[in-house]
Amino acid sequence: MRVVLKNIKNVFWLYRAYWKYGKIFLLFSSFFWLFIVPLNRFLGVYLPSLIVGSLENNRPFNEIVIFVIAIQLMIMFQPIYEDIFNMFCKNKMIPKIEARMNRDIYDRAIKTDYKYIDSPEHYDNYTWTINEYASRATESQDLVNRLTSTIISVASLLAVIALISPIAIVIIIVGSIIEDAMYMITNYYFVKRDIEVNPYNRRLSYFQRIFYQNNYAADVKSTNLKSYLFDEYDVVVENKLNVIKKYAIKKIGWALTGTLTFYIVWTFVILNVVHSIYTGNIASVAAYVTVMLAFSRLSDTLNDLFYYVRTSSQLGMNVAKIRAFFDTKSEIENEEHKETLLPGGNYEIEFKNVFFKYENSDFAISNFNLKIRSGEKIAIVGENGVGKSTLVKLILRLYDVSSGEILINGKNIKEFNVSDVRRKIGVAFQTSNVYAIPFMKNIELYNDADEESTKHIFEKFGFDKILSKNNADFSTEVTKEFNKEGIMLSGGEAQKVAIARIMIGDFGLLLFDEPSSALDPIAEYEMNKFIIDGSNRTSTIVVAHRLSSIRDADRIVLVEDGSVKEIGTHNELMNLGGKYSEMFTKQAENYVKS
Query: Can you tell me whether residue 232 is helix, strand or coil?
Result: helix
pLDDT value at position 572?
94
* pLDDT tens digits, one per residue of 139-163: 888 888 888 888 888 888 777 777 6
pLDDT value at position 218?
66
Q: Could you tell me the CA-to-CA distances from 92 to 25, 80, 87, 89, 96 in Å, in that order?
A: 10, 18, 8, 5, 7
Main-chain dihedrals φ then ψ at residue 165, nearest 5 degrees: -145, 80
Q: Options 3.40.50.720, 3.40.640.10, 1.20.1560.10, 2.20.25.10; which CATH number does 2-326 get?
A: 1.20.1560.10
pLDDT value at position 594?
47
d(CA 546, CA 207): 35
Among 6-15, 138-147, 155-164, 322-331, the range scoring the smallest mean pLDDT is: 155-164
Element of type H or E holding 463: helix 463-469
- CB-count exposure of residue 58 (10 Å: 0-12, 13-18, 19+): exposed
* pLDDT tens digits, one per residue of 423-446: 889 998 878 888 888 888 888 888
d(CA 66, CA 85): 29
Long-range Cβ contact pairs of 451-454 (< 8 A, separation 24 or more):
454/504
Which residues lie across from 402 on neighbouring strands? none
Among 28-42, 285-299, 309-323, 578-592, the range scoring the smallest mean pLDDT is: 285-299
- Per DSSP, the residues of 471-492 read T--TTSBBSSSS-TTPBPPPHH
With the C-alpha atoms ordered 519, 522, 524, 526, is the resulting torsion angle positive or negative? negative
Maximum average pLDDT range among 207-211, 235-239, 286-290: 235-239
Locate the domains of the chain by residue range.
Answer: 2-326, 349-434+489-593, 435-488
d(CA 378, CA 365): 19
Among 210-214, 272-276, 301-305, 415-419, the range scoring the smallest mean pLDDT is: 272-276
Q: Is the pLDDT of residue 496 over 70?
A: yes
* pLDDT tens digits, one per residue of 57-80: 777 878 778 877 887 777 787 888
Among 202-206, 293-297, 402-406, 564-568, the range scoring the smallest mean pLDDT is: 293-297
Asked if residues 338 and 416 have their Cβ atoms less than 8 Å apart, the reply is yes
Q: Choose between 273 and 478: higher pLDDT.
A: 478
Domain topology for 349-434+489-593: Rossmann fold (3.40.50)
Q: Is the pLDDT of residue 591 over 60?
A: no
Nearest one of 557, 563, 564 to 542, comparing CA atoms: 557
What's at 223, amino acid-wise?
Answer: T
pLDDT value at position 391?
92
The DSSP 8-state label assigned to residue 209 in this structure reads: H
